[in-house]
C-alpha cells in the first residue's frame, strides 16, 4: 500500500513539475554571436516583455540591455514613474505605442543583423531594436518616449 501511495504522489507532483517546466520553456530564449567581434546578444522573454541583453566583451556579465517588445497589453494603471522598475513588470502605458505589443512572437520571427558598432534586432523583417555597442545605448521602436526602458528608435536609424 505504501508503494502505491508513494507512486501516486510521485505521479501527481512530477506532473505539476512538468507543467511548470513546460510553461517556462515556452518563453523565448536564445543567443547569437557576432562572427567578427565575438559579442553575444541574448534574447529573453519574461512574463511581460522580451529583452535583448548584450554581454560584455569578456562574456562575464550583461553589458547593457534593450527593450524589444511587450507580450501583454501595456499596463494602463497610472504609475509613479520614479518607482517603476523595468524588469519583471508590465510596460507602463505612458511608454507604449502601437509597436510595443507584439502578439504570438516566435523565434523564427526574430533576426539579428550585426554591424560594426551595433546589432539590429528585426521582428518580422522590420527593425524593432538597435543596440549600440559603443555608447551602450538601446533604441526601441516599441517605446513612445525616452525612459528607463531605453530610447525611442527613429525611422531609418540603424546605428
How much is the pLDDT for 154? 85
How much is the pLDDT for 90? 86
Structural domains counted in the chain = 1
Q: pLDDT below 50 — which residues of the chain?
A: 1-9, 12, 14-23, 159
Residue 88 domain flag: yes
Rounded to 5°, the CA angle 106-24-14 comes to 140
106-121 residues labelled b (16+ CB within 10 A) or e (exposed): eeeebebebeeebbbb
How does DSSP classify residue 11?
H
As given in the structure block, the three cell numbers for residue 73 are 497589453
User: Which residues does 86 contact at the CB level (< 8 Å), separation at least 6?
Assistant: 67, 148, 149
How much is the pLDDT for 71? 93
Look up the domain containing 38 and give its range.
Answer: 27-152
As given in the structure block, the three cell numbers for residue 3 are 508503494
Residue 118 domain flag: yes
Instruction: Count H helices and E strands in the chain, helices first.
Output: 1, 9
Residue 41 domain flag: yes
How much is the pLDDT for 10? 54
The Cα 131–Cα 115 span in angstroms is: 10
Residue 109 domain flag: yes
Residue 45 domain flag: yes
Give this prediction's pTM. 0.78
How much is the pLDDT for 81? 56
- Give, in order, the Cα–Cα distances in Å from 124 to each of 66, 110, 153: 18, 6, 17
Residue 95 domain flag: yes
Q: Is-contact 52 129, C-beta < 8 A? A: yes
Residue 78 domain flag: yes
Residue 13 domain flag: no
User: Which residues does 48 contact at the CB level (< 8 Å), separation at least 6?
Assistant: 70, 71, 72, 88, 89, 90, 91
How much is the pLDDT for 99? 96
- Give, in order, the Cα–Cα distances in Å from 10 to each of 6, 13, 14, 18: 6, 5, 6, 12
Amino acid at each position: 500500500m505504501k508503494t502505491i501511495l508513494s507512486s501516486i504522489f510521485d505521479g501527481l507532483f512530477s506532473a505539476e513539475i512538468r507543467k511548470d517546466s513546460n510553461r517556462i520553456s515556452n518563453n523565448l530564449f536564445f543567443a547569437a554571436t557576432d562572427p567578427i567581434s565575438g559579442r553575444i546578444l541574448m534574447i529573453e522573454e519574461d512574463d511581460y516583455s522580451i529583452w535583448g541583453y548584450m554581454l560584455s566583451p569578456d562574456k562575464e556579465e550583461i553589458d547593457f540591455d534593450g527593450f524589444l517588445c511587450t507580450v501583454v497589453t501595456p499596463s494602463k494603471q497610472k504609475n509613479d514613474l520614479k518607482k517603476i522598475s523595468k524588469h519583471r513588470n508590465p510596460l507602463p502605458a505612458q511608454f507604449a505605442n502601437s509597436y510595443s505589443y507584439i502578439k504570438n512572437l516566435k523565434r523564427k520571427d526574430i533576426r539579428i543583423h550585426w554591424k560594426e558598432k551595433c546589432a539590429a534586432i528585426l521582428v518580422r523583417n522590420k527593425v524593432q531594436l538597435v543596440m549600440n555597442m559603443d555608447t551602450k545605448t538601446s533604441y526601441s521602436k516599441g517605446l513612445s518616449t525616452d525612459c528607463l526602458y531605453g530610447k525611442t528608435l527613429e525611422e531609418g536609424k540603424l546605428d
